[in-house]
Amino acid sequence: MKNKLSQLRDEFLRQLTEVKDEITLRELELKYLSRKGELGVLLRSLKDLSVDSRQAAGTMANEIKQELQDKFQEALKLFSARQTKNIPIDVTLPGAKMAFGHLHPITLIQNELEDLFTSLGFMILDGPELESDYYNFTALNVPASHPARDMQDTFYIDKKNKDGEYDLLLRTQTSPMQIRAMQKYGAPLKLIVPGRCFRNEATDARHEHTFYQMEGLVVAKDINFANLKSFLEIVGQKLFGPATKLRMRPKFFPFVEPGNNGEYTCFLCQGKGCRVCKNTGWLEIVGAGLVHPSVLEAGGLDPEVYSGLAFGFGLTRLAMLKYGINDVRFFQSGDLKFLEQF
């Protein structure tokens, strides 16, 4: 048996030196190494031997099997490497298409506004999405029992702060960064805060639990309503074109006084009236006003010395208007059929 085994081994190795391509190599594998190949037949005949000789022959057979398989694999590698090298490249064939990612429509709007505001000398700040009750409401002139809290219900976190109170929530607006920025940088100050906000909404085509805003704050000495108006005019004209007009209507926001809704002539119908502006010719775009003295105080500034203007856009709303998207839920859906249109 041992003789037969070493003969087989020598024969295999000799033939291996003559192999010229992968096909003949595979034939060799079939002849010797496959289940029905010569080595397999020998291995199966081991059972007919006496116990003693079976053991010795078995060890040898296994060693040889391993050796031949290793040699075969080595040769196989060599041939497949050669083969890939020899494949001619046809440069006229169309290449494999690369899948490029692209920006989300809200990011597009955000980038556009960031360019505009940095060109006007604003800095861009980021703020925490998990905010405290204090920054999101109280410091913005909305104390615990204030009815204005009802307009902005949100998701509260089931964890106590170091004073033993449940006061963490998902921010409902980017406005809390007004306070944080004043506390950190003092005055004068010019900043925007783009970011994600959350509200506990019954979702439908116009309401979503997650959306994007952009806050703006300017603090200096002698900021007045005329500054706010001319500033919002410039922003509107940059955003929607030079013919855009602004109208300001009073609206209550607890952290500004007076508070306003800034409306621009509808960029779709140039103010003539259409479905999007509900035939009014105007689009409500921005909440704004002069910073309330209590808010300046909460920010650590003296309202007798400093004054400010603040404004807030819905980035999600702007994207809906600009791209004609009629359901807010698309933005968070991750639906490629939607996203790939931008």
Segment near ligand DAH (CB under 6 A); pick from 26-34, 99-107, 123-131, 309-317: 309-317
| Shortest CB 258 distance to ligand DAH, Å | 10
| Shortest CB 309 distance to ligand DAH, Å | 8
| Shortest CB 320 distance to ligand DAH, Å | 16
| Shortest CB 102 distance to ligand DAH, Å | 28
Could you write out the DSSP letters of every residue in 214-254? EEEEEEESS--HHHHHHHHHHHHHHHH-TT--EEEEE---T
Could you write out the DSSP letters of every residue in 177-221? HHHHHHHHH-SSEEEEEEEEEE-----BTTB-SEEEEEEEEEEES
271 phi-psi bin (left φ>0, alpha ψ -120 to 50, beta other)? left
| Shortest CB 244 distance to ligand DAH, Å | 20
Chain-centre distance for alpha carbon 195: 13
Q: Can the peptide bond before residue 258 be classed as cis, meaning omega within 30 degrees of 0? A: yes
Q: Pick between residue 133 and residue 215 the one whose CB is nearest to ligand DAH.
A: 215
**Torsion over CA of 174, 177, 179 and 184, rounded to 10 degrees?**
180
Among 169, 193, 256, 277, binds ligand DAH (CB under 6 A): 256
Which residues between 212 and 231 bind ligand DAH (CB under 6 A)?
Answer: 215
Which residues between 111 and 140 bind ligand DAH (CB under 6 A)?
Answer: none
- Residue of 151, 101, 106 lying closest to 328 (CA atoms): 106
Phi, then psi, of 262 in degrees rounded to 5: -90, 125
Is 257 labelled as part of a ligand binding site?
yes
Triad 210, 332, 136: Cα angle to 5°: 15
Is there binding between residue 310 and ligand DAH (CB under 6 A)?
yes
Is there binding between residue 193 and ligand DAH (CB under 6 A)?
no
How distant, in Å, are the alpha carbons of 15, 16, 159, 260, 304 from that of 11?
A: 6, 9, 77, 95, 103
Helix (H, G, I), strand (E, B) or coil at 124: strand
Segment near ligand DAH (CB under 6 A); pick from 7-15, 95-103, 273-281, 304-312: 304-312
Q: Pick between residue 9 and residue 292 the one whose CB is nearest to ligand DAH.
A: 292
Among 173, 244, 307, 316, binds ligand DAH (CB under 6 A): 173
Q: Pick between residue 271 and residue 312 the one whose CB is nearest to ligand DAH.
A: 312
Among 262, 289, 299, 308, binds ligand DAH (CB under 6 A): 289
Q: Which residues are annotated as a binding site for Mg(2+)?
A: 257
Residues that bind ligand DAH (CB under 6 A): 173, 175, 215, 253, 256, 287-289, 310-312
